């Protein structure tokens, strides 16, 4: 169990929440990165602490002010204790702390496990509810301050944008709606304040965006054209070898195991699928942090 100070944790989450909301790069639910910068895109992290540490160390954000890092699906990993408590709040807090230290360079995407944790919905893993396990971890590690830490976590997750756009046509989001959902998808969700209806199970556009799976290349084309994207990179779907290619405009990435990957790209160079794949790096090949 970590020796964590609740007030410090709450403060870091609160600072990161404010930076997410007030970023000069953000317009409603989309962060648009500036030209002539680097952007390191990741897949789902799921509390893989070694990979997160490697990424943060390699990025050296303090020495590289034009480098940006995109993170998503940080919670709900494999660190369970004998009682079933899980403490992926540790990686989430480390990311929030990184955001507080480098507010203009660290960016997040809202993911389905984030929304599940906000709502307390049951996602099962090895027979356990990961949302309940997360709560148990907070109660174990902050027995006297669980409620205020939980509130700060929830506010932070609610502050995460839906998408990140680059001037060269790269578009990052956690996942994509199904083909059937894309046909009637409310694309205004990116350009306005969100309401409770947007998060509604199955029918809300936020839910559809971050929970959707198995979109076809034709569906990707429809979505990409609607958001004026050249190439879309998502996570959400597990990838044993770190990534998958879904047609000519969609790459799915994973960063939650040794064979996981990240992609150091730029915001100005033009990319097709092959060009992105040639830039990908495996975490297993990176030096320890």
140-144: long-range pairs with CB below 8 Å, 24+: 140/1, 140/81, 140/83, 140/85, 140/87, 141/1, 141/2, 141/4, 141/87, 141/89, 142/4, 142/6, 142/9, 144/6
State the average pLDDT for the chain: 96
Confidence check: pLDDT of 197 > 60: yes
What pLDDT score does 21 carry?
98
Positive or negative, the Cα torsion across 27, 88, 120, 129? positive
Confidence check: pLDDT of 1 > 50: no
**Residue-wise pLDDT tens digits, 50-88:** 999 999 999 999 999 999 999 999 999 999 999 999 999
| 2 — pLDDT class (breaks 50, 70, 90) | low
| 124 — pLDDT class (breaks 50, 70, 90) | confident
Confidence check: pLDDT of 163 > 60: yes
Averaged over 207-215, what is the pLDDT? 97
Query: 25-283 architecture in CATH?
Result: 4-Layer Sandwich (3.60)
């Amino acid at each position: 169990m970590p020796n964590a100070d609740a007030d410090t944790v709450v403060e870091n989450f609160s600072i990161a929440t404010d930076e997410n909301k007030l970023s000069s790069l953000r317009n409603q639910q989309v962060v648009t990165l500036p030209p002539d910068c680097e952007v390191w895109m990741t897949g789902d992290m799921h509390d893989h602490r070694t990979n997160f540490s490697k990424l943060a160390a390699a990025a050296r954000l303090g020495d590289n002010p034009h480098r940006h890092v995109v993170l998503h699906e940080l919670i709900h990993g494999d660190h369970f204790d004998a009682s079933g408590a899980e403490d992926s709040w540790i990686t989430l807090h480390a990311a929030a702390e990184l955001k507080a230290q480098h507010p203009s360079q660290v960016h997040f995407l809202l993911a389905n496990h984030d929304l599940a944790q906000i709502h307390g919905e049951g996602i099962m893993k090895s027979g356990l509810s990961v949302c309940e396990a997360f709560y148990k971890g907070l109660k174990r590690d902050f027995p006297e301050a669980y409620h205020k830490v939980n509130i700060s976590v929830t506010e932070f997750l609610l502050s995460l944008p839906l998408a990140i756009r680059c001037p060269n046509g790269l578009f990052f989001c956690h996942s994509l709606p199904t083909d059937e959902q894309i046909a009637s998808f409310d694309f205004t969700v990116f350009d306005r304040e969100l309401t409770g209806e947007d998060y509604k199970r199955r029918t809300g556009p936020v839910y559809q965006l971050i929970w959707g799976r198995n979109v076809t290349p034709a569906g990707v084309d429809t979505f990409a054209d609607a958001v004026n994207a050249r190439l879309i990179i998502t996570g959400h779907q597990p990838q044993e070898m770190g990534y998958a290619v879904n047609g000519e405009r969609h790459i799915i990435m994973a960063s939650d195991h040794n064979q996981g990957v990240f992609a150091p790209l730029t915001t100005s160079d033009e990319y097709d699928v092959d060009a992105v794949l040639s830039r990908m790096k495996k975490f297993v090949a990176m030096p320890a942090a």
